[in-house]
Amino acid sequence: MTAKTFDVGTGAGGGTAMKILCEAGLQVCAVNSGPRTDPDKDYRQHRQVYDLKFRGYGNPLRLQGKAHQEPYSVEESEYSEGRDLFEHDVAYSNSPGTDWYWKRCKATGGKANFWGRSSARFGDIDFKAAELDGFGENWPVDYEEISPWFSKAERYMGVASTVQKRPSNPDGEYLPPLPFRCIDCIIQKGAEKIGVPYLPDRCAQLTVAHNGRPACHYCGNCSRGCDVGSFFSPTWFTIPQAEATKNLTLLTNALVRAVLVDEKGNARGVAYVDRTSRREIEVYAKVVVLAASCVETAHIMLNSKSRHWPAGIANSSGELGKNLCDHLYGNPGYGCLPQLLGQPPTPDNIADSTIAWMPRWQNLKNPREEKFIRGYSVYMGGGCGGFPGYYGQIDGFGSKFKRDIKRYYPATIGALIQAPSLPSPTNYVDIDPEKKDTFGIPQLRFHFRWGDNELLMWEHSKQVMIDLFKSMGAELWGADAEPTRPGTSLHETGVCRFGNDPKKFVTNKWAQGHDVSNLYICDASIFPSCTDKTTTMPIVAFTMRTCDYMLDNFKRGVHARA
Protein backbone atom coordinates (compact mmCIF):
# COMPACT_ATOMS: atom_id res chain seq x y z
CA MET A 1 0.00 0.00 0.00
CA THR A 2 1.24 3.50 -0.76
CA ALA A 3 -0.10 6.57 0.99
CA LYS A 4 0.98 10.18 0.96
CA THR A 5 1.35 10.22 4.73
CA PHE A 6 1.53 7.56 7.29
CA ASP A 7 0.26 8.09 10.80
CA VAL A 8 1.29 5.73 13.58
CA GLY A 9 -1.19 5.98 16.44
CA THR A 10 -4.70 7.44 16.59
CA GLY A 11 -4.66 9.01 20.07
CA ALA A 12 -4.61 12.69 21.02
CA GLY A 13 -1.65 13.45 18.73
CA GLY A 14 -2.11 10.91 15.91
CA GLY A 15 -5.88 11.45 15.73
CA THR A 16 -5.40 15.21 15.39
CA ALA A 17 -2.73 14.76 12.71
CA MET A 18 -4.85 12.44 10.59
CA LYS A 19 -7.91 14.69 10.81
CA ILE A 20 -5.94 17.74 9.67
CA LEU A 21 -4.07 15.94 6.90
CA CYS A 22 -7.17 14.15 5.60
CA GLU A 23 -9.14 17.40 5.61
CA ALA A 24 -6.32 19.02 3.65
CA GLY A 25 -6.83 16.39 0.94
CA LEU A 26 -3.91 14.03 1.66
CA GLN A 27 -4.42 10.28 1.50
CA VAL A 28 -3.57 9.10 5.01
CA CYS A 29 -2.98 5.58 6.20
CA ALA A 30 -3.30 5.36 10.00
CA VAL A 31 -1.78 2.31 11.65
CA ASN A 32 -3.14 1.46 15.07
CA SER A 33 -1.74 -1.10 17.41
CA GLY A 34 -5.05 -2.54 18.69
CA PRO A 35 -8.73 -2.83 17.80
CA ARG A 36 -11.22 -0.13 16.94
CA THR A 37 -12.91 1.44 19.99
CA ASP A 38 -16.68 1.15 19.82
CA PRO A 39 -18.36 3.10 22.68
CA ASP A 40 -21.57 1.07 22.33
CA LYS A 41 -19.73 -2.16 23.03
CA ASP A 42 -16.71 -1.02 25.02
CA TYR A 43 -18.09 1.38 27.61
CA ARG A 44 -20.49 0.08 30.25
CA GLN A 45 -21.57 3.27 31.88
CA HIS A 46 -24.71 4.13 33.78
CA ARG A 47 -24.56 0.78 35.48
CA GLN A 48 -23.98 0.18 39.15
CA VAL A 49 -21.24 -2.17 40.26
CA TYR A 50 -23.85 -4.70 41.33
CA ASP A 51 -25.04 -4.82 37.69
CA LEU A 52 -21.63 -6.03 36.58
CA LYS A 53 -20.57 -9.64 36.76
CA PHE A 54 -17.38 -8.98 38.71
CA ARG A 55 -18.70 -5.97 40.67
CA GLY A 56 -16.62 -3.54 38.64
CA TYR A 57 -13.27 -5.22 39.27
CA GLY A 58 -13.31 -7.27 36.06
CA ASN A 59 -12.64 -10.91 35.48
CA PRO A 60 -9.72 -11.85 37.77
CA LEU A 61 -8.53 -14.37 35.17
CA ARG A 62 -8.56 -11.98 32.24
CA LEU A 63 -4.80 -11.47 32.18
CA GLN A 64 -3.90 -15.10 32.64
CA GLY A 65 -1.25 -16.14 30.15
CA LYS A 66 -0.62 -12.55 29.01
CA ALA A 67 2.96 -11.32 28.65
CA HIS A 68 2.26 -8.23 30.76
CA GLN A 69 -0.11 -9.15 33.56
CA GLU A 70 -0.27 -5.95 35.56
CA PRO A 71 -3.75 -4.35 35.49
CA TYR A 72 -4.03 -0.61 34.89
CA SER A 73 -5.73 1.50 37.54
CA VAL A 74 -8.85 3.67 37.00
CA GLU A 75 -9.20 3.38 33.25
CA GLU A 76 -9.05 -0.40 33.00
CA SER A 77 -11.97 -1.72 34.99
CA GLU A 78 -15.00 -3.83 34.22
CA TYR A 79 -16.59 -0.65 32.87
CA SER A 80 -14.07 -0.30 30.07
CA GLU A 81 -12.32 -3.63 29.65
CA GLY A 82 -14.49 -4.10 26.54
CA ARG A 83 -12.87 -6.07 23.80
CA ASP A 84 -9.24 -6.08 24.72
CA LEU A 85 -8.58 -2.33 24.67
CA PHE A 86 -5.46 -2.32 26.84
CA GLU A 87 -1.97 -3.54 26.04
CA HIS A 88 -1.02 -6.74 27.84
CA ASP A 89 0.63 -8.69 25.01
CA VAL A 90 3.73 -6.52 24.71
CA ALA A 91 6.01 -6.72 27.73
CA TYR A 92 8.67 -4.16 28.70
CA SER A 93 11.69 -4.19 31.01
CA ASN A 94 12.76 -2.14 34.01
CA SER A 95 16.48 -1.87 34.77
CA PRO A 96 17.52 -2.71 38.35
CA GLY A 97 16.21 -0.01 40.72
CA THR A 98 13.54 1.18 38.24
CA ASP A 99 9.85 0.57 38.82
CA TRP A 100 8.23 2.25 35.80
CA TYR A 101 4.48 1.57 35.43
CA TRP A 102 3.73 1.70 31.70
CA LYS A 103 0.01 1.87 31.07
CA ARG A 104 -0.99 1.56 27.43
CA CYS A 105 -4.31 1.64 25.64
CA LYS A 106 -3.84 -0.07 22.29
CA ALA A 107 -7.36 0.61 20.95
CA THR A 108 -8.05 3.48 18.54
CA GLY A 109 -8.11 6.79 20.41
CA GLY A 110 -5.48 5.51 22.86
CA LYS A 111 -5.37 6.80 26.40
CA ALA A 112 -7.23 9.90 25.21
CA ASN A 113 -10.42 7.79 25.44
CA PHE A 114 -10.07 7.85 29.21
CA TRP A 115 -8.04 10.92 30.08
CA GLY A 116 -8.70 13.29 33.01
CA ARG A 117 -9.19 16.36 30.73
CA SER A 118 -7.05 18.84 32.69
CA SER A 119 -5.94 21.19 29.89
CA ALA A 120 -3.85 24.15 31.03
CA ARG A 121 -1.62 26.14 28.69
CA PHE A 122 2.13 26.17 29.09
CA GLY A 123 3.70 29.63 29.37
CA ASP A 124 7.06 31.32 29.00
CA ILE A 125 7.76 30.34 32.61
CA ASP A 126 7.93 26.79 31.15
CA PHE A 127 9.43 27.49 27.71
CA LYS A 128 12.19 29.68 29.18
CA ALA A 129 12.67 27.80 32.45
CA ALA A 130 16.32 27.03 31.66
CA GLU A 131 17.05 30.72 31.08
CA LEU A 132 15.32 31.60 34.37
CA ASP A 133 16.96 29.07 36.67
CA GLY A 134 19.97 27.92 34.66
CA PHE A 135 19.00 24.25 34.46
CA GLY A 136 18.50 22.22 31.26
CA GLU A 137 17.38 23.51 27.88
CA ASN A 138 14.92 26.19 26.82
CA TRP A 139 12.15 25.16 24.44
CA PRO A 140 12.71 26.30 20.82
CA VAL A 141 9.45 28.30 20.91
CA ASP A 142 7.98 31.06 23.02
CA TYR A 143 4.47 31.83 24.22
CA GLU A 144 3.77 34.47 21.59
CA GLU A 145 4.41 31.93 18.85
CA ILE A 146 2.41 29.11 20.42
CA SER A 147 -0.50 31.01 21.91
CA PRO A 148 -2.59 31.04 18.66
CA TRP A 149 -2.17 27.25 18.44
CA PHE A 150 -3.35 26.83 22.03
CA SER A 151 -6.40 28.93 21.09
CA LYS A 152 -7.03 26.74 18.05
CA ALA A 153 -6.73 23.57 20.12
CA GLU A 154 -9.01 24.92 22.87
CA ARG A 155 -11.61 26.08 20.37
CA TYR A 156 -11.60 22.65 18.75
CA MET A 157 -11.58 20.54 21.92
CA GLY A 158 -13.84 22.70 24.10
CA VAL A 159 -12.16 23.61 27.41
CA ALA A 160 -14.13 24.90 30.39
CA SER A 161 -12.50 27.40 32.77
CA THR A 162 -12.26 31.06 33.81
CA VAL A 163 -9.84 33.92 33.19
CA GLN A 164 -7.39 33.91 36.10
CA LYS A 165 -4.45 36.13 35.14
CA ARG A 166 -1.73 33.94 36.58
CA PRO A 167 1.80 33.77 35.15
CA SER A 168 2.17 30.01 35.51
CA ASN A 169 -0.91 29.14 33.43
CA PRO A 170 -1.86 31.73 30.84
CA ASP A 171 -5.56 32.23 30.13
CA GLY A 172 -7.22 30.81 27.03
CA GLU A 173 -10.56 30.67 25.25
CA TYR A 174 -13.02 28.90 27.49
CA LEU A 175 -16.48 27.40 27.77
CA PRO A 176 -18.30 28.21 31.07
CA PRO A 177 -16.51 26.59 34.05
CA LEU A 178 -17.70 23.55 35.96
CA PRO A 179 -19.49 24.68 39.14
CA PHE A 180 -17.66 24.45 42.46
CA ARG A 181 -18.77 21.79 44.93
CA CYS A 182 -19.23 22.46 48.68
CA ILE A 183 -15.74 21.10 49.30
CA ASP A 184 -14.27 23.52 46.73
CA CYS A 185 -15.83 26.53 48.46
CA ILE A 186 -14.38 25.47 51.81
CA ILE A 187 -10.96 24.60 50.36
CA GLN A 188 -10.81 27.89 48.47
CA LYS A 189 -11.37 29.89 51.68
CA GLY A 190 -8.74 27.85 53.54
CA ALA A 191 -6.25 28.15 50.70
CA GLU A 192 -6.72 31.92 50.54
CA LYS A 193 -5.70 32.16 54.22
CA ILE A 194 -2.35 30.47 53.52
CA GLY A 195 -1.72 32.34 50.25
CA VAL A 196 -2.32 29.41 47.90
CA PRO A 197 -4.55 29.82 44.80
CA TYR A 198 -7.54 27.50 44.44
CA LEU A 199 -9.23 28.02 41.09
CA PRO A 200 -11.31 26.25 38.43
CA ASP A 201 -9.11 23.90 36.45
CA ARG A 202 -8.97 24.11 32.64
CA CYS A 203 -11.11 21.08 31.86
CA ALA A 204 -11.83 19.71 28.34
CA GLN A 205 -15.35 18.72 29.33
CA LEU A 206 -18.30 20.24 27.49
CA THR A 207 -20.28 22.39 29.91
CA VAL A 208 -22.30 23.47 26.84
CA ALA A 209 -22.86 21.75 23.46
CA HIS A 210 -19.76 22.27 21.34
CA ASN A 211 -18.30 21.20 17.99
CA GLY A 212 -21.25 18.93 17.20
CA ARG A 213 -21.08 17.17 20.56
CA PRO A 214 -23.73 17.41 23.30
CA ALA A 215 -23.23 19.10 26.67
CA CYS A 216 -22.09 16.85 29.50
CA HIS A 217 -24.83 15.20 31.58
CA TYR A 218 -22.51 14.88 34.60
CA CYS A 219 -22.68 11.14 35.14
CA GLY A 220 -19.09 11.22 36.44
CA ASN A 221 -17.80 8.23 34.46
CA CYS A 222 -15.25 10.04 32.30
CA SER A 223 -12.23 7.89 33.15
CA ARG A 224 -14.15 4.90 31.83
CA GLY A 225 -14.90 6.58 28.48
CA CYS A 226 -17.79 8.89 27.67
CA ASP A 227 -20.71 7.18 25.96
CA VAL A 228 -22.00 10.41 24.38
CA GLY A 229 -18.75 12.19 23.51
CA SER A 230 -19.05 15.14 25.87
CA PHE A 231 -15.33 15.51 26.34
CA PHE A 232 -12.60 15.68 23.74
CA SER A 233 -11.54 12.22 22.64
CA PRO A 234 -10.32 10.96 19.25
CA THR A 235 -13.13 8.38 19.23
CA TRP A 236 -15.77 11.12 19.17
CA PHE A 237 -13.88 13.97 17.51
CA THR A 238 -10.91 13.40 15.23
CA ILE A 239 -11.38 9.83 13.95
CA PRO A 240 -14.96 10.26 12.61
CA GLN A 241 -14.02 13.63 11.13
CA ALA A 242 -10.99 12.13 9.34
CA GLU A 243 -13.13 9.24 8.08
CA ALA A 244 -15.77 11.63 6.74
CA THR A 245 -13.22 12.93 4.22
CA LYS A 246 -12.88 9.45 2.67
CA ASN A 247 -9.12 10.07 2.59
CA LEU A 248 -8.38 7.77 5.53
CA THR A 249 -7.33 4.14 5.52
CA LEU A 250 -7.36 2.87 9.10
CA LEU A 251 -5.41 -0.32 9.85
CA THR A 252 -6.20 -1.89 13.22
CA ASN A 253 -4.43 -4.58 15.24
CA ALA A 254 -1.27 -3.44 13.46
CA LEU A 255 1.69 -3.10 15.82
CA VAL A 256 4.39 -0.97 14.23
CA ARG A 257 7.88 -2.37 14.73
CA ALA A 258 10.03 0.07 12.80
CA VAL A 259 10.23 2.93 10.32
CA LEU A 260 11.60 1.74 6.97
CA VAL A 261 14.22 3.80 5.16
CA ASP A 262 15.21 4.30 1.51
CA GLU A 263 18.69 4.29 0.02
CA LYS A 264 19.31 7.82 1.36
CA GLY A 265 18.18 7.02 4.90
CA ASN A 266 14.86 8.87 4.57
CA ALA A 267 11.62 7.34 5.80
CA ARG A 268 9.77 5.30 3.19
CA GLY A 269 7.05 3.68 5.33
CA VAL A 270 6.69 1.38 8.30
CA ALA A 271 6.85 -2.33 9.08
CA TYR A 272 4.10 -3.62 11.34
CA VAL A 273 3.09 -6.96 12.81
CA ASP A 274 -0.49 -7.99 12.15
CA ARG A 275 -1.59 -9.20 15.59
CA THR A 276 -3.99 -11.77 14.17
CA SER A 277 -1.77 -13.51 11.60
CA ARG A 278 1.47 -12.51 13.39
CA ARG A 279 2.90 -11.74 9.95
CA GLU A 280 5.07 -8.69 9.33
CA ILE A 281 3.74 -6.35 6.66
CA GLU A 282 5.37 -3.30 5.05
CA VAL A 283 3.47 -0.19 3.94
CA TYR A 284 4.99 2.78 2.12
CA ALA A 285 4.44 6.53 2.25
CA LYS A 286 6.05 9.86 1.37
CA VAL A 287 5.93 11.10 4.96
CA VAL A 288 5.76 9.22 8.25
CA VAL A 289 4.15 10.75 11.37
CA LEU A 290 4.95 9.00 14.64
CA ALA A 291 2.40 9.52 17.43
CA ALA A 292 2.57 6.29 19.40
CA SER A 293 2.64 8.16 22.73
CA CYS A 294 6.04 9.39 23.81
CA VAL A 295 8.06 6.40 24.99
CA GLU A 296 6.55 4.08 22.36
CA THR A 297 7.56 6.54 19.64
CA ALA A 298 11.13 6.36 20.94
CA HIS A 299 10.82 2.54 21.08
CA ILE A 300 9.87 2.38 17.38
CA MET A 301 12.67 4.78 16.43
CA LEU A 302 15.30 2.95 18.48
CA ASN A 303 14.20 -0.29 16.81
CA SER A 304 14.49 1.37 13.36
CA LYS A 305 18.13 0.45 12.81
CA SER A 306 19.71 0.47 9.38
CA ARG A 307 23.10 1.04 7.85
CA HIS A 308 22.23 4.77 7.83
CA TRP A 309 20.97 4.78 11.40
CA PRO A 310 22.82 2.16 13.45
CA ALA A 311 21.63 3.70 16.75
CA GLY A 312 18.02 4.18 15.64
CA ILE A 313 16.46 6.42 13.00
CA ALA A 314 17.18 10.16 13.16
CA ASN A 315 19.50 9.66 16.12
CA SER A 316 22.74 11.31 15.03
CA SER A 317 22.49 13.45 18.18
CA GLY A 318 22.45 10.36 20.41
CA GLU A 319 19.57 11.99 22.32
CA LEU A 320 16.85 9.55 21.21
CA GLY A 321 15.41 7.89 24.33
CA LYS A 322 17.23 10.29 26.68
CA ASN A 323 15.83 13.07 28.94
CA LEU A 324 12.85 11.02 30.11
CA CYS A 325 10.76 13.16 32.46
CA ASP A 326 7.51 12.46 34.29
CA HIS A 327 5.15 13.92 36.85
CA LEU A 328 5.69 12.74 40.41
CA TYR A 329 2.22 11.90 41.73
CA GLY A 330 1.14 11.14 45.27
CA ASN A 331 -1.32 12.15 47.96
CA PRO A 332 0.37 14.64 50.33
CA GLY A 333 -2.68 15.00 52.60
CA TYR A 334 -6.11 13.47 53.13
CA GLY A 335 -8.76 13.73 55.79
CA CYS A 336 -12.20 15.21 56.31
CA LEU A 337 -14.08 18.47 56.68
CA PRO A 338 -16.02 18.13 59.96
CA GLN A 339 -18.36 20.97 58.93
CA LEU A 340 -19.81 18.64 56.25
CA LEU A 341 -20.21 15.52 58.42
CA GLY A 342 -23.73 14.11 58.25
CA GLN A 343 -24.86 16.61 55.59
CA PRO A 344 -27.18 15.27 52.87
CA PRO A 345 -25.29 13.97 49.84
CA THR A 346 -24.80 16.34 46.88
CA PRO A 347 -23.93 15.38 43.26
CA ASP A 348 -20.19 16.02 43.64
CA ASN A 349 -19.01 13.35 41.24
CA ILE A 350 -19.76 15.52 38.21
CA ALA A 351 -16.45 15.29 36.51
CA ASP A 352 -14.91 12.15 37.94
CA SER A 353 -11.68 13.97 38.57
CA THR A 354 -10.69 17.55 38.55
CA ILE A 355 -12.95 20.57 38.84
CA ALA A 356 -10.58 22.84 40.68
CA TRP A 357 -6.85 22.88 41.32
CA MET A 358 -4.02 24.78 42.91
CA PRO A 359 -2.01 26.02 39.94
CA ARG A 360 1.71 26.48 40.56
CA TRP A 361 2.34 29.23 43.07
CA GLN A 362 5.98 28.55 43.94
CA ASN A 363 9.05 30.31 42.46
CA LEU A 364 6.93 32.71 40.41
CA LYS A 365 8.74 35.96 41.19
CA ASN A 366 12.14 34.52 41.92
CA PRO A 367 13.03 31.18 40.28
CA ARG A 368 15.08 30.19 43.32
CA GLU A 369 12.80 31.30 46.13
CA GLU A 370 12.21 27.72 47.33
CA LYS A 371 14.67 24.90 48.04
CA PHE A 372 13.66 23.42 44.68
CA ILE A 373 13.55 24.97 41.20
CA ARG A 374 10.42 25.16 38.96
CA GLY A 375 7.13 24.32 40.68
CA TYR A 376 4.23 21.94 41.13
CA SER A 377 0.43 22.04 41.13
CA VAL A 378 -2.12 20.20 43.29
CA TYR A 379 -5.57 18.77 42.50
CA MET A 380 -8.06 18.27 45.32
CA GLY A 381 -10.73 15.57 45.22
CA GLY A 382 -13.42 14.40 47.59
CA GLY A 383 -17.05 14.89 48.48
CA CYS A 384 -19.76 12.48 47.42
CA GLY A 385 -17.99 10.20 44.97
CA GLY A 386 -19.01 6.93 43.35
CA PHE A 387 -17.44 4.75 46.04
CA PRO A 388 -16.57 5.54 49.70
CA GLY A 389 -12.85 4.98 49.29
CA TYR A 390 -12.30 6.24 52.85
CA TYR A 391 -13.84 3.08 54.38
CA GLY A 392 -10.39 1.90 55.53
CA GLN A 393 -10.00 5.03 57.66
CA ILE A 394 -13.11 4.32 59.71
CA ASP A 395 -13.12 1.86 62.60
CA GLY A 396 -15.95 -0.43 63.59
CA PHE A 397 -18.39 -2.82 61.98
CA GLY A 398 -22.09 -3.51 61.56
CA SER A 399 -24.75 -0.82 61.60
CA LYS A 400 -22.55 1.77 63.33
CA PHE A 401 -19.95 1.32 60.62
CA LYS A 402 -22.62 1.80 57.92
CA ARG A 403 -23.92 4.93 59.66
CA ASP A 404 -20.39 6.35 59.86
CA ILE A 405 -19.77 5.65 56.17
CA LYS A 406 -22.88 7.71 55.37
CA ARG A 407 -21.93 10.45 57.83
CA TYR A 408 -18.49 10.88 56.30
CA TYR A 409 -19.73 10.56 52.69
CA PRO A 410 -19.91 14.30 51.84
CA ALA A 411 -16.94 15.26 54.02
CA THR A 412 -13.76 13.47 52.96
CA ILE A 413 -11.07 15.19 50.87
CA GLY A 414 -7.66 14.30 49.46
CA ALA A 415 -4.91 15.88 47.39
CA LEU A 416 -2.83 14.88 44.36
CA ILE A 417 0.51 16.55 43.73
CA GLN A 418 1.71 16.99 40.14
CA ALA A 419 5.42 17.71 40.35
CA PRO A 420 7.65 17.71 37.25
CA SER A 421 10.89 15.74 37.31
CA LEU A 422 13.99 17.37 35.84
CA PRO A 423 15.88 15.82 32.92
CA SER A 424 18.70 13.64 34.22
CA PRO A 425 21.36 11.57 32.43
CA THR A 426 20.25 8.56 34.49
CA ASN A 427 16.60 8.75 33.33
CA TYR A 428 16.11 7.31 29.84
CA VAL A 429 14.78 4.43 27.75
CA ASP A 430 16.75 2.06 25.57
CA ILE A 431 16.29 -1.33 23.91
CA ASP A 432 16.69 -4.35 26.17
CA PRO A 433 19.57 -6.27 24.56
CA GLU A 434 18.28 -9.60 25.88
CA LYS A 435 14.50 -9.58 25.64
CA LYS A 436 11.99 -9.67 22.80
CA ASP A 437 8.22 -9.49 23.11
CA THR A 438 5.84 -12.18 21.97
CA PHE A 439 5.88 -10.75 18.41
CA GLY A 440 9.67 -10.93 18.25
CA ILE A 441 10.16 -7.16 18.70
CA PRO A 442 13.04 -6.09 21.00
CA GLN A 443 11.54 -4.75 24.23
CA LEU A 444 11.77 -1.23 25.57
CA ARG A 445 13.70 -0.85 28.83
CA PHE A 446 13.20 1.96 31.37
CA HIS A 447 15.86 3.56 33.58
CA PHE A 448 14.27 6.04 35.97
CA ARG A 449 14.35 7.28 39.55
CA TRP A 450 12.82 10.33 41.16
CA GLY A 451 15.39 13.10 41.64
CA ASP A 452 16.05 15.36 44.61
CA ASN A 453 14.22 18.35 43.11
CA GLU A 454 10.86 16.60 42.74
CA LEU A 455 11.28 14.88 46.12
CA LEU A 456 11.76 18.31 47.72
CA MET A 457 8.49 19.39 46.09
CA TRP A 458 6.82 16.29 47.52
CA GLU A 459 8.00 17.18 51.05
CA HIS A 460 6.96 20.81 50.53
CA SER A 461 3.44 19.76 49.48
CA LYS A 462 2.99 17.71 52.66
CA GLN A 463 3.72 20.81 54.76
CA VAL A 464 1.30 22.85 52.62
CA MET A 465 -1.40 20.27 53.34
CA ILE A 466 -0.73 20.48 57.09
CA ASP A 467 -1.20 24.28 56.87
CA LEU A 468 -4.23 24.01 54.59
CA PHE A 469 -6.08 21.45 56.74
CA LYS A 470 -5.44 23.64 59.78
CA SER A 471 -6.71 26.77 58.05
CA MET A 472 -9.89 24.95 56.93
CA GLY A 473 -10.54 23.53 60.38
CA ALA A 474 -10.21 20.09 58.79
CA GLU A 475 -9.00 16.78 60.22
CA LEU A 476 -5.78 15.58 58.57
CA TRP A 477 -5.76 11.79 58.64
CA GLY A 478 -2.47 11.24 56.84
CA ALA A 479 -0.44 11.38 53.64
CA ASP A 480 0.98 8.75 51.31
CA ALA A 481 4.23 7.34 52.69
CA GLU A 482 5.80 7.42 49.21
CA PRO A 483 5.00 9.08 45.90
CA THR A 484 3.38 6.80 43.31
CA ARG A 485 5.45 4.72 40.91
CA PRO A 486 7.06 6.58 38.01
CA GLY A 487 4.85 6.35 34.91
CA THR A 488 1.60 6.56 36.86
CA SER A 489 0.78 10.10 35.71
CA LEU A 490 0.94 9.21 31.97
CA HIS A 491 2.52 12.60 31.29
CA GLU A 492 6.00 11.46 30.32
CA THR A 493 8.05 13.74 28.04
CA GLY A 494 11.46 14.30 26.52
CA VAL A 495 12.67 11.18 24.71
CA CYS A 496 12.70 12.81 21.22
CA ARG A 497 13.19 16.38 22.39
CA PHE A 498 12.93 19.27 19.92
CA GLY A 499 15.36 22.14 19.57
CA ASN A 500 17.38 24.07 17.06
CA ASP A 501 20.77 22.37 17.34
CA PRO A 502 20.85 19.03 15.45
CA LYS A 503 23.72 17.91 17.69
CA LYS A 504 21.57 18.19 20.83
CA PHE A 505 18.00 17.56 19.69
CA VAL A 506 16.18 14.85 17.76
CA THR A 507 13.77 17.12 15.86
CA ASN A 508 13.66 20.76 14.86
CA LYS A 509 11.17 23.25 16.35
CA TRP A 510 8.47 21.92 13.99
CA ALA A 511 8.87 18.34 15.30
CA GLN A 512 10.45 17.31 12.00
CA GLY A 513 13.47 15.00 12.26
CA HIS A 514 16.75 16.95 12.01
CA ASP A 515 18.27 13.98 10.23
CA VAL A 516 15.20 12.68 8.40
CA SER A 517 13.10 15.48 6.97
CA ASN A 518 10.08 13.32 6.07
CA LEU A 519 9.67 12.01 9.62
CA TYR A 520 7.49 14.05 12.02
CA ILE A 521 6.57 13.44 15.66
CA CYS A 522 3.17 14.33 17.12
CA ASP A 523 3.28 13.46 20.81
CA ALA A 524 4.85 14.62 24.08
CA SER A 525 8.20 12.99 23.33
CA ILE A 526 9.29 16.27 21.70
CA PHE A 527 8.74 18.35 24.87
CA PRO A 528 12.25 18.90 26.29
CA SER A 529 11.04 19.25 29.86
CA CYS A 530 8.05 18.52 32.02
CA THR A 531 6.03 21.36 33.54
CA ASP A 532 3.52 21.52 36.39
CA LYS A 533 0.78 21.15 33.75
CA THR A 534 -0.56 18.12 31.87
CA THR A 535 0.39 17.40 28.26
CA THR A 536 -2.66 16.52 26.13
CA MET A 537 -3.99 19.93 25.05
CA PRO A 538 -0.40 21.02 24.24
CA ILE A 539 0.06 17.77 22.23
CA VAL A 540 -3.03 18.72 20.18
CA ALA A 541 -1.81 22.33 19.76
CA PHE A 542 1.74 21.39 18.74
CA THR A 543 0.37 18.70 16.38
CA MET A 544 -1.84 21.30 14.67
CA ARG A 545 1.21 23.50 14.19
CA THR A 546 3.39 20.63 12.93
CA CYS A 547 0.73 19.58 10.40
CA ASP A 548 0.39 23.15 9.17
CA TYR A 549 4.14 23.25 8.57
CA MET A 550 4.09 19.82 6.92
CA LEU A 551 1.28 20.85 4.56
CA ASP A 552 3.30 23.91 3.66
CA ASN A 553 6.24 21.62 2.89
CA PHE A 554 3.99 19.57 0.61
CA LYS A 555 2.90 22.76 -1.15
CA ARG A 556 6.49 23.92 -1.56
CA GLY A 557 7.49 20.54 -2.97
CA VAL A 558 9.77 19.62 -0.05
CA HIS A 559 7.84 16.37 0.20
CA ALA A 560 7.03 14.83 -3.17
CA ARG A 561 3.41 13.80 -3.60
CA ALA A 562 2.67 10.11 -3.99
Ligand X SMILES: Cc1cc2nc3c(=O)[nH]c(=O)nc-3n(C[C@H](O)[C@H](O)[C@H](O)COP(=O)(O)OP(=O)(O)OC[C@H]3O[C@@H](n4cnc5c(N)ncnc54)[C@H](O)[C@@H]3O)c2cc1C
Contacting ligand X within 530-559 (CB under 6 A): 534-536, 539
- Report the C-alpha gap between 179 and 205 in whole angstroms: 12
Out of ligand X, ligand SF4, none, which partner does residue 231 contact, by CB within 5 to 8 A per kind?
A: ligand SF4
Residue 14 contacts which entry, ligand SF4, ligand X, none (Cβ below 5-8 A, type-dependent): ligand X
Query: 534: helix, coil or strand?
Result: coil
SS3 281: strand
Which residue, 216 or 285, has its beta carbon nearer to ligand SF4? Answer: 216
Radius of gyration in angstroms for the set of CA atoms belonging to the chain, rounded to a whole number: 23
User: Binder to ligand SF4 among 222, 261, 300, 530 (CB under 6 A)?
Assistant: 222
Q: SS in 3 state form for 174-235?
A: CECCCCCCHHHHHHHHHHHHCCCCCEECCECECCCCECCECCCCCCCCHHHCCCCCCECCCC
Among 4, 5, 14, 136, binds ligand X (CB under 6 A): 14
Q: Which of residues 337-356 bind ligand SF4 (CB under 6 A)?
A: 352
- C-alpha span between 334 and 380 (Å, rounded): 9
Q: How far is the CB of 560 from ligand X (least distance, A)?
A: 25
d(CA 472, CA 477): 14
Which of the residues 242 through 301 are near ligand X (CB under 6 A)? 255-256, 291-294, 296, 300
Helix (H, G, I), strand (E, B) or coil at 370: coil
Residue closer to ligand X (CB basis): 336 or 531: 531
C-alpha 513/C-alpha 520 separation (Å) is 6
CA 151 to chain centre: 19
Query: Can residue 239 be called a binding residue for ligand X (CB under 6 A)?
Result: no
Which of 63, 130, 228, 405 touches ligand SF4 by CB under 6 A?
Answer: 228
User: Among residue numbers 209 through 238, which ones bind ligand X (CB under 6 A)?
Assistant: 223
Q: Does 9 bind ligand X (CB under 6 A)?
A: yes
Beta bridge partners of 258: 271
Q: How far is the CB of 444 from ligand SF4 (least distance, A)?
A: 32
Question: For residue 269, how many C-alpha atoms fall within 13 Å in the half-sphere facing its CB?
Answer: 13
Q: Which is nearer to ligand X, 26 or 105 (CB)?
A: 105
Q: Which residues, at least 6 apart from 538, have a Cβ–Cβ distance to it below 8 Å?
A: 121, 122, 150, 153, 524, 527
Contacts of 311 by beta carbon, 8 Å cutoff, 6+ apart: 302, 305, 318, 320
In 473-525, alpha helices (H):
none
221 binds ligand SF4 (CB under 6 A): yes
With CB under 6 A as the contact rule, the residue among 218, 284, 439, 549 that binds ligand SF4 is: 218
Q: Choose among ligand SF4, ligand X, none what residue 178 binds, the Cβ cut-off being 5 to 8 Å by kind.
A: none
Residue 205 found at the interface with ligand SF4 (CB under 6 A): yes
Stretch of 227-235, 247-255, 383-391, 480-488 contacting ligand SF4, by CB under 6 A: 227-235
Minimum distance, C-beta of residue 529 to ligand X, in the bound complex (Å): 16
What's the distance, CA 275 to chain centroid? Answer: 25
What minimum distance in Å lies between the beta carbon of 358 and ligand SF4? 23
Using CB under 6 A, pick the residue from 117, 327, 360, 460 that binds ligand X: 117
* Dist. CA 144–CA 156, nearest whole Å: 20
Distance separating alpha carbons of residues 505 and 495, to the nearest angstrom = 10
Could you tell which of ligand SF4, ligand X, none binds residue 34, using a CB distance below 5 to 8 A set by kind? ligand X
* Residue from 3, 4, 6, 8 binding ligand X (CB under 6 A): 8
CA distance 4 to 48: 47
Does 521 contact ligand SF4 by CB under 6 A? no
Q: Point out which residues bind ligand SF4 (CB under 6 A).
A: 205, 216-222, 226, 228, 230-231, 352
Q: Point out which residues bind ligand X (CB under 6 A).
A: 8-14, 31-34, 74-75, 105-106, 108, 110-112, 114-118, 223, 255-256, 291-294, 296, 300, 490, 523-524, 534-536, 539
